[in-house]
Amino acid sequence: MTTDKQNTSTIRDFTQGGIFRQLIKLAMPLMAVSFIQMAYNMVDIIWIGRLGSKSVAAVGTVGMLMWMMNSFALLSKVSAEVSIGQSIGAKRMDKAMLYASHTTTIAIIMGLVFAIFFFIFPQLTISFFRLEIDITLEAVNYLKIISFGVPFMFLILNFSGIYIGTGRSDTPFYFNAIGLVLNIVLDPLFIFGFGFIPKMGSQGAALATTLSQLVVLILFVRHLRKKNGILSQFSFWVKLRKSYTLNILKLGVPVAAMNVYFSIINMNLTRIASIHGGHLGVTSQTTGGQIEGITWNTSTGFATALGSFVAQNFAAGKMNRARHAYRYTLIAMMVLGLAVTASFMLFGSEIFSVFIPEKAAYIAGGDYLFIIGISQIFMMLELTTQGMFNGVGKTTPPAIVSIAFNTLRIPLAIFLALSMGVNGVWWAITITSIIKGVCSAVWYYFLQRKYK
């Protein structure tokens, strides 16, 4: 067996030491990165909300498309996290470098394909949501600009996965924080205009986001290209080897497929919400979904940290440490879930009004948060368990659970909306979230019994 001990000082070993302390140390930057990514959209919505609920609906529909795109990007990101983490746990730095090169090459290819498609066919893509003509036109113009930043987003997520796989989740946090600050500064300047900068409305928000993402990508590349950079300056572009590519697909496709399908389901739910609730239905779901990111991104951050932690310990034959990490993570998520549920159910309209001051919009949004709030604990249970599955390389079970019950949302939403209006769509989401959380935990309980 060949080994490579170069740059081991940049790698974190999770196979020994305090479990909870290591989880927190790894998860906090990941959560911060998730919140930063959420804050990009939040900042946009806060400023665009001043333009009116129709502009929020236009940007929100493009946000759904970006969600789908980011789901495809998980193929390279999650593969990098798991394959590099397991390679490090097995003391195979040479393999870790090759996996980093392969996931980066795949990310470049996918990013360019999506960018070209969104730029050439924006009208075709946006027409799916059946929006009003003026909202559709605004969404099309927004998508054309944001498409230039799509390759940046793919590479940023991939590089983040590489750093996470090596245990260095703090670096993506720093770089994304810089991008957020820049976006906060540029948003009002480009949206409302200032001095020689013309007023661009929602298109200004797209330009601000694209420029901010470009800066973040440049920071990643510069850091990776340093002489003593992480994983010894691995190549960004390589000829794909069959064995490495197949393993990347094996690890990444189930997770990506699950999330892509999830995003497609939500795009269909947005379409149903548009039919039964007009642009206020779209605004409630898209903006409410961003607010719900409080629990989603926290859970995702901990789940990603758990996956990286478990990957190393699983490869090192220390499954008991992995089980303890899972229990610690669940306890932390349940406490937070209860707090968020109470906030959404008691103060939903007040929370929503911070983003969109129109009365009709924040009343409708309050209904959304109240209903969705019921399922927050179960959503966090599902995501945490998914992190455990990912860490042991079993990415298929959570994909099956997610795909099966997300599919159920469409007919259930259509059925409930006929009698309850747009709120029936929100109840469909909540009911299926509860089922997914329970099924994921039960499946893992039976799976883990075969690991010593």
Confidence of residue 228 (pLDDT cuts 50, 70, 90): low
Contact assessment for residue 432 and residue 405, using Cβ atoms and an 8 Å cutoff: yes
Query: Model confidence over 101-132: pLDDT tens digits?
Result: 888 899 999 999 999 999 999 888 888 887 77
**What is the pLDDT of the chain when averaged over all its residues?**
84
Confidence of residue 50 (pLDDT cuts 50, 70, 90): confident
Between these two residues, 309 and 104, which has the higher pLDDT value? 104
Q: What percent of the chain has pLDDT over 70?
A: 93
Query: How confident is the model over 158-164, as a mean pLDDT?
Result: 86
Between these two residues, 68 and 26, which has the higher pLDDT value? 68
What is the rounded distance in angstroms from the CA atom of residue 25 to the CA atom of residue 329? 13
Q: What percent of the chain has pLDDT over 90?
A: 27
Residue type, 224: L
What is the rounded distance in angstroms from the CA atom of residue 128 to the CA atom of residue 263? 14
Query: How confident is the model over 263-278, as a mean pLDDT?
Result: 86
Between these two residues, 146 and 354, which has the higher pLDDT value? 146
- In terms of Cα–Cα distance, which of 210, 228, 220 is closest to 151? 210
Confidence of residue 1 (pLDDT cuts 50, 70, 90): very low
Q: Is the pLDDT of residue 2 over 50?
A: no
HEC per residue, the chain: CCCCCCCHHHCCCCCCCCHHHHHHHHHHHHHHHHHHHHHHHHHHHHHHCCCCHHHHHHHHHHHHHHHHHHHHHHHHHHHHHHHHHHHHHCCCHHHHHHHHHHHHHHHHHHHHHHHHHHHHCHHHHHHHHCCCHHHHHHHHHHHHHHHHHHHHHHHHHHHHHHHHHCCCCHHHHHHHHHHHHHHHHHHHHHHHCECCECCCCHHHHHHHHHHHHHHHHHHHHHHHCCCCCCCCCCCCCCCCCHHHHHHHHHHHHHHHHHHHHHHHHHHHHHHHHHHHHHHHHHHHHHHHHHHHHHHHHHHHHHHHHHHHHHHHHHHCCCHHHHHHHHHHHHHHHHHHHHHHHHHHHHHHHHHHHCCCCCHHHHHHHHHHHHHHHCCHHHHHHHHHHHHHHHHCCCCHHHHHHHHHHHHHHHHHHHHHHHHHCCHHHHHHHHHHHHHHHHHHHHHHHHHHCCCC
Between these two residues, 165 and 368, which has the higher pLDDT value? 368
Q: Is the pLDDT of residue 9 over 60?
A: no
Between these two residues, 294 and 221, which has the higher pLDDT value? 221
Q: How many CA atoms lie within 13 A of 18 on its CB side?
A: 6
Query: How confident is the model over 305-326, as a mean pLDDT?
Result: 80
Query: Model confidence over 394-437: pLDDT tens digits?
Result: 878 888 898 899 899 999 999 999 999 999 999 999 999 999 99
Query: How confident is the model over 162-178, as a mean pLDDT?
Result: 82
Supply the pLDDT for residue 232.
Answer: 65
Confidence of residue 207 (pLDDT cuts 50, 70, 90): very high
Supply the pLDDT for residue 112.
Answer: 95
Supply the pLDDT for residue 394.
Answer: 82
Radius of gyration for the alpha carbons in the chain, expressed in angstroms and rounded: 21
Query: How confident is the model over 13-21, as a mean pLDDT?
Result: 71
Q: Is the pLDDT of residue 90 over 70?
A: no
Query: Model confidence over 233-255: pLDDT tens digits?
Result: 777 888 888 888 888 888 888 87
Among 134-138, 147-151, 247-251, 360-364, the range with the most confident prediction by mean pLDDT is 147-151
Supply the pLDDT for residue 274.
Answer: 85
Supply the pLDDT for residue 182.
Answer: 92
Q: Is the pLDDT of residue 33 over 70?
A: no
Confidence of residue 262 (pLDDT cuts 50, 70, 90): confident
